[in-house]
Amino acid sequence: MKKNLLLKSALATATLTLITGTAQAEEGQEQTTPASKEQAIGDWKFDAAFLFYSESDSRVSAIEPVFNANKRLDEEEYLNLKLTVDSLTGASPSGAVASDQPLTFTRPSGNASYTVNANQYPLDDTFKDTRVALATSWTFPVSDMTKAGLGANISKEYDYLSASINGNISYDFNNRNSTLFAGLSYAFDSIDPVGGAPIAFGRMQPVGDPQNKLSGSQDKDTLDLLVGITQVIDRESLFQFNYSYSMSDGYHNDPYKVLSVLDDQGNYFDDGIPVANVLFENRPDERTKHGLFGRYKRYIDGDILDVSYRYMTDDWEIDSHTVDLKYRFAFDNGDYLQPHVRYYTQTQADFYQPYLRQDQPLPQFASSDYRLAEYDAITLGLEYGWKSSGGNQWRMALELYNQTPTEPEKYGVLQQQTLLPDWNAVMLRVNYSF
Amino acid sequence: MNEALHTIAYKTSQGFVTGHFTAMAGPCEVIIETSDQELAEKVTQTVADEAWRIESTFSRYRTDNIIYRINNADGDPVEVDAETARLLDFADLCFEVSDGMFDITSGVLGKIWKFDGSSNVPYQNDIDKLLPKIGWQKVSWTNPRLQMPAGMALDFGGIGKEYAVDSAAQLARQITELPILINFGGDIVATAPPVSREHWLIGIEPLALGQNTVPPQVALKHGGVATSGDSKRYLLHNNKVLSHVLNPKTGWPVADAPASVTVLASNCTQAGMLSTLAMLQGKEAETFLQSQEVEHWIQRR
């Protein structure tokens, strides 16, 4: 007999597996809900979440209730329905640079204007929307070792419609210690911007002048592919690896983002039109992304260590790295505390430009969207989970996010301005399963 | 199973409600620190139902359960449900870590060994006939399919009761956070220490009354306690006491096994397996448990 301490901990893990039936800690998908109760066939299980999100400097804030219902149809067959409602308010960077003069911009509707004070970072405060999204999925066994899933999503905002269908299949082998999976998804997006989609590089017009705006909606098709493997290493740990491919075709512009046109001193170039000289952005109409993802999960005497790394690269030349670390401390009474750290860094898109210059030729593509710039971001979070006296699971998470962009090159009077300020966000999520 | 025997008797005293019932061939009790009789009865009913469910699911004496299907498959493969699969995985691990000393196919030895305090030791000839029918390594187990040579039989007796206690405790915790002690014939789990005192106090049955002036007691806050061994189950052979713990490789009782081993661990199944493995160590039982760094009590004759 192996007379060592490993035997006791091997038994501890094995007995936990035996009693709770949750073998390899919730493997697979991001943020799967830990089953708080054994769900009998025919039973519904519900999950309600409430998310509050707020960015610094009165940028976007959002309130998002989520309701999830899951029905166990058979031994390994589930139906899932998820309803999300997003309510966004606040202001978003318009893409224009600040100036030592006040700047007047026409609202996207074309019916009104707003003014940004001198030396202030231009935010478009018309950002207000409600999104309703419904997702449904059905997972079912195909054979002993093969499981499949089919799903559909639809999401509607005032100016945006997104619909997608997806399918996936997984195959267990090697005594169920290995799982191969593959997924395919097709999405159709249609945007019908307030006041019409602007013509690429169109000059912002004064109130009441609808020229430079297109009528009708703009569409985009996206195809996503995912293949991966999950490998149980031993009774306490598992490794997951996957490759993802995404190809999209169609309208990729943000119809509300503009680029400032500056003269050789760094001032807005005065062309006589009584609104700031800005052009609507223009992005390529295709994008191909590749991603590699690896995750290691380890069970340590009831605690769970979860480390992952993601690398993404695309033909817009944005390369990103994400390192994510979570550690879940389990308490004797079943509660847990989970600190979370994430670091993200990306390079800028090859057509990212903070502004355009009147004395230089117009490039083929350009966008000053801060999301396409070079930046680093850190997320710090803490989640606490506990069970109510009725046995239902509560989870509460607080996350702090900080984004630090690399300030682009400046010249002339522009040197007095910050083109890409740091910003922070705070997120609070409360989740209840019953 | 006689459903009429599924009754629970309640008793209330000093802030505790105790429910008594019979399951798994023995007395069971659920003690809850509460004045809420209704809640206490709900918890006790849940625990008792789970005990009766597991008893009937894994009993060797029924013809309508998975154990019957496995033991009467005559060498054909049997597909098992998820719970049975978890028990088989666990038994497989225990077989592995004990170098084959813990074996759920060894139950057939019970046909010839009767530990009734007599000296009726079976003939070696009969033992030899049974040995080929023992050995988990002869069973092919690939979740969810089990294939066992004809003539062999599985018996979850060595883990079933401890598992039942843990499983019932799990269900009880989902109903209430109140401190609960569940005791299925000496296999015990406490979900939390009582509010009114420091810990639960559990007495270990002494070898013989009067022999130990103070019976050993276990202070349990939460976790599981299990005892292997039974002072009343032994045989006399060549002036020596034979314990009822059998070595599946020889078909004979393990030499110099303690009379009883009690272990305190994080759950009852873990405690039960550690105490069983200690018994199987014979005279090395003490050394084994010391190396495992668990609280334990060993009684020897």
Is residue A319 within 8 Å of A312, Cβ to Cβ? yes
Mutate to test the interface with A, among B191, B266, B280 (most CBs of A within 10 A): B266
Measured between beta carbons, the chain B residues lying within 8 angstroms of A17 are 86, 89-90
What is each CA distance from B44 to B178, B180, B188, B202, in whole angstroms? 13, 10, 14, 19
Write out pLDDT tens, residues A319-351: 999 999 999 998 877 789 999 999 999 999 999
- Express each pLDDT in B229-243 by its tens digit: 876 677 888 878 888
Question: Higher confidence at residue A244 or residue B240?
Answer: A244
User: What's the pLDDT score for residue B189?
Assistant: 96
> Does A28 have pLDDT greater than 50?
no
Tens digit of each residue's pLDDT (9 = 90 or more) over B170-192: 999 989 989 999 999 889 999 99
Q: Which of B118, B152, B186 is the last residue of a domain?
A: B152
- Beta-carbon separation of B265 and A12 below 8 A: yes
Q: What is the pLDDT of residue A3?
A: 46
CB distance B99–A18 less than 8 Å?
no
Q: Where residue A26 falls among pLDDT bands split at 50, 70, 90? A: very low
Question: Which domain covers residue B272, as residue numbers?
Answer: 198-301
B292·A8 Cβ contact <8 A: yes
Checking if the pLDDT of B208 tops 70, the result is no
Q: Do B7 and B131 belong to one domain?
A: no
From the list A192, A150, A156, the residue with the least C-alpha distance to A169 is A150
User: Does residue B202 share a domain with residue B140?
Assistant: no
Shortest alpha-carbon distance between residue B269 and chain A (Å): 6
pLDDT (tens digit per residue) in B111-125: 899 888 788 889 999
pLDDT digits (tens, 9 = 90+) for B49-103: 999 999 999 988 888 899 999 999 999 989 899 899 999 999 999 998 888 999 9
Rounded average pLDDT over A33-38: 41
B171 and B44 within one domain: yes
Tell me the average pLDDT of chain A. 88
| The pLDDT of residue A37 | 46
* Same-domain check for residues B296 and B276: yes
User: Among A285-289, A418-422, B297-301, where is mean pLDDT lowest?
Assistant: B297-301
Percent of chain B with pLDDT over 90: 57
Are B222 and A332 an interchain contact pair (Cβ–Cβ within 8 Å)?
A: yes
Residue A30 touches chain B, beta carbons under 8 Å: no
Nearest-neighbour CA in chain B from A105: distance (Å)? 58
3-state secondary structure of B96: helix
Among A136-150, A184-198, A240-254, B203-217, where is mean pLDDT lowest? Answer: B203-217
Cβ-based contacts of B163 with chain A (< 8 Å): 18-19
B5 pLDDT more than 80? no
Position B18 scores a pLDDT of 94
| Angstrom distance (rounded) from CA A148 to CA A262 | 55
Which has the higher per-residue pLDDT, B16 or A216?
A: B16
Chain B residues touching A11 at Cβ < 8 A: 93-94, 97, 265, 269-270, 273-274
Contacting residues of A for B143, CB less than 8 Å apart: 175-176
B277 touches chain A (CB under 8 A): yes
Residue of A147, A278, A272, A291 whose CA lies nearest to A228: A291
Verify that B36 and B92 share a domain, yes or no: no
Q: What are A363's two structure tokens? A: 């490039």
- Among chain B residues, CA nearest to A302: B266
Put simply, the answer to whether B294 touches A387 (Cβ < 8 Å) is no
DSSP secondary structure letters along A18-35: HHH---STT-SSTTPPPP
> Which range scores top for mean pLDDT: A7-11, A244-248, B195-199?
A244-248
A336/chain B closest Cα distance in angstroms? 15
Q: What is the mean pLDDT of residues A399-419?
A: 95
Place of tokens 């022999």: B211
User: To the nearest whole angstrom, how far is the Cα of B6 from the nearest Cα of chain A?
Assistant: 23
| A206 pLDDT more than 60 | yes
**Partner-chain contact A5 B292, CB within 8 Å:** yes
Q: Is pLDDT at B265 greater than 80 in this prediction?
A: yes
Do B301 and B219 belong to one domain? yes
User: So what's the pLDDT on residue A38?
Assistant: 55
pLDDT band at A400 (very low <50, low <70, confident <90, very high): very high
In total, how many domains does chain B have? 3
Inter-residue contact A262 to A358 (CB < 8 Å): yes
Q: Could you give the C-alpha distances from B116 to A390, B26, B157, B235, B241, in angstroms and in order?
A: 47, 18, 19, 6, 12
Cβ contact, residue pair A11, B288, below 8 Å:
no
- Please tell me the predicted confidence (pLDDT) of residue A408: 95
Is the Cβ pair A175, B93 closer than 8 Å?
no
Question: Are B146 and B295 contained in the same domain?
Answer: no
CB of A182 within 8 Å of a chain B CB? The answer is: no
**Residues B203, B183 contacting (CB under 8 angstroms):** no
Nearest to A10 among B93, B166, B280 (CB): B93
Q: What share of chain A is helix, strand, coil (3-state, %, to 5)?
A: 5, 55, 40
* Residues A142, A172: Cα–Cα separation, whole Å: 12
Nearest CA-CA distance, residue B72 and chain A, Å: 23
Query: Which of chain A's residues have a Cβ under 8 Å away from the Cβ of B294?
Result: 8
Domain identity same for B280 and B300: yes
Per CB-CB distance under 8 Å, the chain B contacts of A175 are 142-143
Residues B6 and B101 in one domain: no
**Which CATH number is B205's domain given?**
3.10.520.10
Residues sharing a CB contact under 8 Å with residue A283, sequence separation 6 or more, in sequence order:
A252, A253, A316, A351, A365, A367
Percent of chain A residues past pLDDT 70, beyond the cut? 94
Residues B293 and B204 in one domain: yes
Taking only the tens place, the pLDDT of each residue in A358-380 is 999 889 999 999 999 999 999 99
User: Residue A2's pLDDT band (boundaries 50, 70, 90)?
Assistant: very low
Buried b (16+ CB within 10 A) or exposed e, A395-404: bebebebebe
Rounded to whole angstroms, the Cα distance separating B202 from B200 reads 6
Closest CA–CA distance from residue A296 to any residue of chain B (Å): 23
Contacts (Cβ under 8 Å, ≥6 apart) of B130: B108, B109, B111, B112, B251
- Choose from A4-8, A194-198, B99-103, B212-216 the range with maximum mean pLDDT: B99-103
Nearest CA to B68 out of B162, B141, B138, B154 is that of B154
Q: Which CATH class is domain A43-433?
A: mainly beta
Query: What is the average pLDDT across A269-296?
Result: 94
Cα of B193 to nearest chain A Cα, Å? 11
* Chain B residue with Cα closest to A8: B292
Residue A238 predicted with pLDDT over 90: no
pLDDT > 90? residue A191:
yes
pLDDT of residue B1: 45
Q: β-pairing, A77-93 with A123-141?
A: antiparallel
Mean pLDDT for the stretch of residues A241-259: 95
Residue B131: CATH number of its domain: 1.10.3980.10
Query: A139 CA to chain B: closest CA distance, Å?
Result: 18
Does the pLDDT of residue A17 top 80, yes or no?
A: no
Above 60 in pLDDT, residue A30?
A: no
Which of B266, B280, B288 is opposite residue A3, by nearest beta carbon?
A: B288
A143 touches chain B (CB under 8 A): no
For residue A113, what are the β-bridge partners? A106
Q: What is the DSSP annotation of A174-212?
A: TTTTEEEEEEEEEEEEEE--TT-EEPTTPBPPPTT--TT
Is B173 near chain A, with CB under 8 Å? yes
Residue of B nearest to A37 (CA): B174
